[in-house]
């Protein structure tokens, strides 16, 4: 089992969905990822928070044995995002973004983090993603996420990131935007040519597409009738995905990747059942495995 380094945002989100509203709920890619991955393997987190970041929210990470040595606390307020989901629960409409202390985020890895074997670059500026890679010594596996803003504004830097990573996890709209293709299959074919050895196209309620040199692995999402809040589902997918790979420590063999994708899919299904990280607070590996047995029954011929 190897430690996982994640670099990303810690935030407070204000979210509106057809199921209701939640104001200043705990969010951010690094939080979602860490809570998911820590069920499988030790996690080290690098990020920045403001003076308003609650000690109880920090304790949520430390109670999961997440190493927070790399978290900076600065004068000012924590990153805040406000968004709404209307008819399409696969895509949020951004209402407000307050970068606050995250606007000057410059990831500096503690010396104890530089030997991390598994590295995940969450959805941050690709320039910062490259800066992180300069600070790790000999990672065994590097993964990354991105978003439409970076695809349109920093494509050259993003392409440099893709050339240096082993696994890309990206949602379907972003995959199509980055490649110019009109469906997940065609987009994954193009993405695999850009550098990653494995590409996972996350398709929300429709599941995922895994593409490697060996071919495809495709499954639907675990069926959830009452989706409350999809925010962070992709980040928890990534957390369970990387946690599974770090726990087995077998690299990118196809069997490991399939297991990682299934666990990612299951983790995301819990996330969407409540606002923010609420569903992840009490989630155990046993509960995840139980849902996995149900998923196997659903998807088996």
pTM of the shown model: 0.96
Architecture of domain 4-299: 3-Layer(aba) Sandwich (3.40)
Res 1 pLDDT > 80 = no
Whole-number Å distance between alpha carbons of 174 and 120: 18
Please state the rounded mean pLDDT for residues 29-44. Answer: 98
- For residue 268, pLDDT beyond 90: yes
For residues 185-198, give the mean pLDDT.
97
Average pLDDT over the chain, rounded to whole? 96
In this prediction, residue 301 has a pLDDT band, given cuts at 50, 70 and 90, of: confident
168-191: per-residue pLDDT in tens? 999 999 999 999 999 999 999 999
Q: Mean of the pLDDT values across residues 159-175?
A: 97
Quote the pLDDT of residue 288: 97
pLDDT at residue 92, as a whole number: 87
Residue 251's pLDDT is 87
Mean pLDDT is lowest, of 29-33, 43-47, 59-63, 83-87, for 83-87
Contact yes or no for 286/295 (Cβ under 8 A): no
- What distance in Å separates the CA atoms of residue 290 and residue 299, rounded to the nearest whole number? 15
- Convert the pLDDT of each residue in 200-237 to its tens digit: 999 998 999 999 999 999 999 999 999 999 999 999 99
Using alpha carbons, select from 6, 52, 59 the residue that is nearest to residue 29.
6
Distance separating alpha carbons of residues 122 and 145, to the nearest angstrom: 5
Residues 165 and 142: beta-carbon distance below 8 Å: yes
Question: Is residue 70 predicted with pLDDT exceeding 90?
Answer: yes
**Residue ranges covered by each domain of the chain:** 4-299
- In SS3 terms, the chain reads as CCCEEEECCCEEEEEEECCEEEEEEEECHHHHHHHHHCCCCCEEEEEEECCCCCHHHHHHHHHCCCEEEEEEECCCCCEEEEEECCCCCCCCEEEEEECHHHHHCCCCCCHHHCCCCEEEECCCCHHHHHHHHHHCCCCCEEEECCCHHHHHHCHHHHHHHHCCCCEEEEEHHHHHHHHCCCCHHHHHHHHHHHCCCEEEEECHHHCEEEEECCEEEEECCCCCCCCCCCCCHHHHHHHHHHHHHHHHCCCCCHHHHHHHHHHHHHHHHHHCCCCCCHHHHCCCHHHHHHHHHHHHHHHCC
How many of the other CB atoms lie within 10 Å of CB of 134?
A: 7
């Amino acid at each position: 089992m190897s430690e996982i380094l994640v670099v990303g945002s810690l935030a407070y989100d204000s979210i509106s969905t057809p199921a209701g509203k939640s104001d200043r709920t705990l969010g951010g890619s690094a939080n979602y990822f860490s809570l998911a991955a820590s069920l499988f393997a030790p996690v080290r987190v690098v990020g920045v928070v403001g003076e308003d970041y609650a000690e109880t929210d920090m304790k949520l990470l430390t109670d999961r044995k997440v190493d927070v040595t790399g978290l900076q606390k600065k004068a000012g307020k924590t990153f805040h995002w406000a968004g709404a989901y209307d008819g399409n629960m696969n895509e949020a409409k951004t209402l407000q973004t307050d970068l606050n202390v995250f606007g000057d985020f410059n990831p500096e890895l503690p010396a104890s983090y530089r030997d991390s074997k598994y590295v995940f670059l969450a959805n941050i500026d690709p320039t910062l993603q490259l800066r992180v890679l300069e600070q790790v010594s000999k990672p065994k596996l590097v993964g990354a996420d991105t978003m439409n803003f970076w695809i349109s504004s920093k494509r050259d830097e993003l392409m440099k990131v893709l050339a240096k990573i082993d696994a890309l996890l990206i949602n379907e709209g972003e995959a199509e935007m980055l490649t110019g293709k009109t469906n997940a299959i065609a987009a994954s074919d193009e993405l695999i040519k850009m550098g990653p050895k494995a590409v996972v196209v996350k398709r929300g309620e429709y599941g995922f597409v895994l593409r490697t040199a060996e071919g495809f692995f495709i499954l639907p999402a675990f069926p959830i009738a009452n989706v409350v809040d999809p925010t962070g589902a992709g980040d928890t997918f990534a957390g369970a995905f990387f946690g599974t790979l770090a726990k087995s420590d077998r690299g990118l063999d196809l069997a490991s990747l399939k297991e990682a994708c299934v666990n990612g899919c299951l983790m995301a299904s819990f996330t969407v059942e409540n606002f923010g990280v609420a569903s992840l607070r009490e989630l155990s590996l046993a509960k995840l495995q139980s849902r996995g047995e149900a998923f196997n029954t659903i998807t088996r011929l």
